[in-house]
Amino acid sequence: MLTLTSIWTTVLLAAAVALGPLATDMYLPALPQIGSDFGTGTDQVQLTLSLYMAGFAIAQLICGPLADRFGRKPIMIGGFVLFALASIGCALATNIETLILCRFLQALGGSAGPVLGRAAIRDIYTPREAAKILAILASIMALAPAIAPTIGGFLVTGLGWSSIFLALGGYALVMAVVVAFGIPEPMRPENRQTLKLCSLLRNYRKIGTDVSFLGYTLTNALTFSGLFAFLSGSSFVLIDFLGVAPEHFGLYFALMVAGFVTGNLFAVRLGSMLVPDQILVRGLVIAVAGGSLMAGLALSEVYNVWAVILPQALFMVGTGMVLPQTMAGAMANFPRMAGSASALFGFVQMALAAGAGMLVGHLHDGTSLVMAVVIATCACAALASYLLLVQRHPAAGFEPQGVSAQ
């Protein structure tokens, strides 16, 4: 079994966390085909994505406290098994309602990986170290969305969309075995929390009323919502509107992921020269520039693949710089409640992202305009959240003017 601080432990945690983006990105090329097979519109098909995110958000509020009580590993393993069973249900679905239900159940299990992966990093490292490790983890994890749409495109073309869910179920079972036998329990016994309802509510109240936590969480969630707006609308824009073949969708998607990895690498490199606050504001400015450029081109009726992909790649450079800093900052003040803090953080992130996705699906006009405007709006709102909350209330032990969290 690996040591907690081993780079391979980080790699395995990244692989566990990657189940989340795999479950959303791998089947993006299949969305138009699913709609055609079930005879449903864009808004109904998009619900398989948005309700997945809603279930993901709700489940984190449950698995976080459970992990604070029983440890990270058993909850993560149970989540992977549930995800695998729900994936089989998705593959066997014969109508859109069944698929939506199984996607929701899939989300309940899939939430364990990301929420407990973040908590494990906070268990192992200090807040400043965690920002660097999360950036490294995000870079490794970015391999999933880089290759997932390409794999999904070939699967849907060669074997049909149900094969995508069978592949996801197999991956989840492999990760259950890897976590069980490859990673030590990262949570210290003395940090275990009670499951009494009054204690849980008291913990969530303490976390949710911390202005620093709210600032980092909202900045992260709004930036992530811009990313999810792209995930929700990109297959319809690129495949249906701009004529990209499903098997080629992933190639364009990989350029966006390359932007995200570039932002992660910038964050890691700048971590030794700048404080997290300086990295964060630079990332937000880049994200606003990318979102505004895409919206400006769409408003000018410039409709082609590069008018979507290149601005989104720029947005993703900023996102890759923002997300690790805000994740680490949100949990910096709560070393003894990392599971609950990560759960509430994830709930807000996924709830806002689901809302952005539903907005794109509901207002989609057959062009890239709605998607682009939502991305730009989310980026600007994230910058406003930083200026109004994070800049005024940085996390203690994370920014230099703070004191190390105990």
User: What is the value of pTM for the model shown?
Assistant: 0.74
The tens digit of pLDDT for each residue in 94-125 reads: 999 999 999 999 998 988 887 777 778 777 77
Spatial CB neighbours of 181, under 8 Å, sequence gap ≥ 6: 1
* CATH class held by domain 7-390: mainly alpha
Q: In angstroms, rounded to a whole number, what is the distance separating the alpha carbons of residues 320 and 265?
A: 8
Question: Of the ranges 20-24, 151-155, 352-356, 390-394, which one carries the lowest mean pLDDT score?
Answer: 20-24
**Cα of 369 vs its chain's centroid, Å:** 23
Q: In angstroms, rounded to a whole number, what is the distance separating the alpha carbons of residues 77 and 173?
A: 9
Amino acid at 144: A
**What pLDDT is attached to residue 116?**
75
8-state DSSP, 195: -
State yes or no: pLDDT of 194 exceeds 80. no
End-to-end Cα distance, the chain: 29
Q: Where are the domains of the chain?
A: 7-390
Instruction: Calculate ∠ Cα 374-326-249, nearest 5°.
Output: 45
Quickly list DSSP for 83-101: HHHHHHHHHH--SHHHHHH
Which is higher by pLDDT, 280 or 342? 280
The tens digit of pLDDT for each residue in 371-402 reads: 999 999 999 999 999 999 999 888 876 654 33
Question: Of the ranges 56-70, 149-163, 166-180, 274-288, which one carries the lowest mean pLDDT score?
Answer: 56-70
8-state DSSP, 166: H
Q: By the 8 A CB rule, do 360 and 185 touch?
A: no
Could you tell me which of 165, 186, 191, 52 has the C-alpha nearest to residue 111?
A: 52
Decide: residue 156, CB within 10 A, 0-12 exposed, 13-18 middle, 19+ buried. Answer: buried
Spatial CB neighbours of 186, under 8 Å, sequence gap ≥ 6: 4, 72, 119, 120, 123, 124
Q: By the 8 A CB rule, do 25 and 144 touch?
A: yes
* 91 to 43, 105, 154: CA distances (angstroms): 20, 13, 16
**What pLDDT is attached to residue 400?**
42
* Range picked from 57-66, 184-193, 211-220 for highest mean pLDDT: 211-220
Two structure tokens written together for 271: 């971590």
The tens digit of pLDDT for each residue in 286-324 reads: 999 999 999 999 999 999 999 999 999 999 999 999 988
State yes or no: pLDDT of 211 exceeds 70. yes
Q: What is the mean pLDDT of residues 160-182?
A: 91
Q: In angstroms, rounded to a whole number, what is the distance separating the alpha carbons of residues 193 and 200?
A: 9
- Residue 235 pLDDT grade (very low, low, confident, very high; cuts 50, 70, 90): confident
